[in-house]
Chains A and B, each alone.
Chain A
Amino acid sequence: MKMPNILIDQDKCSQPELCRKCVQICEPCVFNITFTDKDYHQPTNWIIDPVFPQLCLGENCKKCIDVCPTNAIDIIF
């Protein structure tokens, strides 16, 4: 299967750690809550990273796009 390109607008995704709705709704667990810098005490260092886009269920699912309160997720199939 072709790998979809999952784009997360990190500016719109302002509170990844508190929200994490996309991570919870995704059945194959495509998303990963992670931090960019060594200092994980800083909430701004936390991001949501679509690590395994190859596991995405495809165009029929799109649950993550619907659940995102800030419309930060865009998927190019």
Chain B
Amino acid sequence: MCQMCMKHGANGKWYMNARNYIRETAEGVSSTEYLEDLWGNMERAYSRKVHGLFDLKWVSKHVDTPFLGRFLKWYANRGFIKDGRTQKLNIDAAQGHFGQVITLSEAKQIVLEKAEEVVRAICPCKYFNQGIRKSTCLGFTPLKEVLPKLPRFIPENGLEVLDGEKAAEFLDQMSKEGFVHSIWAGPLPAIVALCSCSIPSCGALRLRTDFDIKACWKGENVAIVNEDKCIGCENCADRCQFGALRYEEKPIIDPELCYGCGNCAEVCENNAIELVDRNSIPITRGKY
């Protein structure tokens, strides 16, 4: 069992504890200073040095080199730890900014029941990777305080505080458009943002899919197809961002590639795709 989830989580999940969303938790880990630096330099994410030695731009060119690649990945992954903090954080390395893929229902539960305040911000990743200004990131209390200092991430019509219902509606819309939801700590255990990501425009998910650097972890679930229930509607065929779903008369899902976002299950007409706990299947057990 994950130490982080045991210590700070609820129901075995670190992001399901309402305590992680409140102001006191954020103040306890100096979340606003951390975010000001992280979001303020978000565009430089690839050129900042990981733990002061290498930058991700350089690391990405050598991840396929034998031995050196394995060392570099291990070194970079140390910054994206799940098991809480053991030492002083190195903010230059995005240390502590740990993210995980979550399902739509979990995301809605978070905005409706757990979060104190929800604001909408312009997604920095979509901007620096794809040049698009799109307000797809939901920020919680600490981010709301930092955003006025970083006007380039404030949407055109100003900083908008959403109530739970409106935020849930927004998440529904994002899911319909095919985005994957992810939850972000900054730093642990304070939770600061809930993003709607796509590949390759997500700075963290692309590091994971293109270079196997664990900037974002896989979700708690894995999608399984119930072939008897599949009626062949093909709705799921183009829904997978991670290349885990292949459609040949019926969907075939590779559990090892599945991130458990539930995008395919969301559109299934006959509920033939089911999300099961990642740890209940031997080949995906413990593989986040």
A positions within 8 Å CB-CB of B: 3, 20-21, 23-24, 28-29, 32-35, 40, 49, 51-52, 54-55
Q: Mark B50-93, 1 if CB is under 8 A from A, else 0.
A: 00000001001100000000000000000000000000000000
Whether A29 touches B61, Cβ cut-off 8 Å, given contacts A34-B47, A49-B47, A52-B210, is no
Candidates B40, B47, B57; contact of A40 at CB < 8 Å: B40
Chain B, 171-226, CB within 8 A of any chain A CB: 200-201, 206, 210
Q: Quick check: B127 and A33 within 8 Å, CB to CB?
A: yes
Give the residues in chain A near B242, CB-CB below 8 Å: none
| Smallest CB separation, B144 vs chain A (Å) | 21
Candidates B131, B152, B206, B210; contact of A23 at CB < 8 Å: B131
A29 to B132, CA, bound (A): 12
| Smallest CB separation, A66 vs chain B (Å) | 16
Known: A29-B201, A32-B43, A33-B127. 20 other contacts (CB 8 A): A3-B61, A21-B131, A23-B129, A23-B130, A23-B131, A24-B130, A24-B131, A24-B132, A29-B129, A29-B130, A32-B129, A33-B128, A34-B44, A34-B47, A40-B40, A51-B57, A52-B60, A54-B60, A54-B61, A55-B200
B positions within 8 Å CB-CB of A: 40, 43-44, 46-47, 57, 60-61, 127-132, 152, 200-201, 206, 210
Give the residues in chain A near B200, CB-CB below 8 Å: 28-29, 55
Q: Quick check: B130 and A51 within 8 Å, CB to CB?
A: no
Give the residues in chain A near B129, CB-CB below 8 Å: 23, 29, 32
Q: Show 27 A/B contacts (Cβ-Cβ < 8 Å), sorted by A.
A: A3-B61, A20-B131, A21-B131, A23-B129, A23-B130, A23-B131, A24-B130, A29-B130, A32-B43, A32-B46, A32-B128, A32-B129, A34-B43, A35-B43, A35-B44, A40-B40, A40-B43, A49-B57, A51-B46, A51-B47, A51-B57, A51-B60, A52-B60, A52-B210, A54-B60, A55-B200, A55-B210
Give the residues in chain B near A21, CB-CB below 8 Å: 131
Give the residues in chain A near B152, CB-CB below 8 Å: 40
Closest 10 CB pairs of A and B: A23-B131, A20-B131, A24-B131, A29-B200, A29-B129, A34-B43, A33-B128, A51-B46, A51-B57, A34-B44
A8 to B267, CA, bound (A): 42
Chain B, residue nearest A53 (CB): B61
Candidates B40, B43, B61, B210; contact of A33 at CB < 8 Å: B43
Give the residues in chain B near A24, CB-CB below 8 Å: 130-132
| Smallest CB separation, B26 vs chain A (Å) | 24
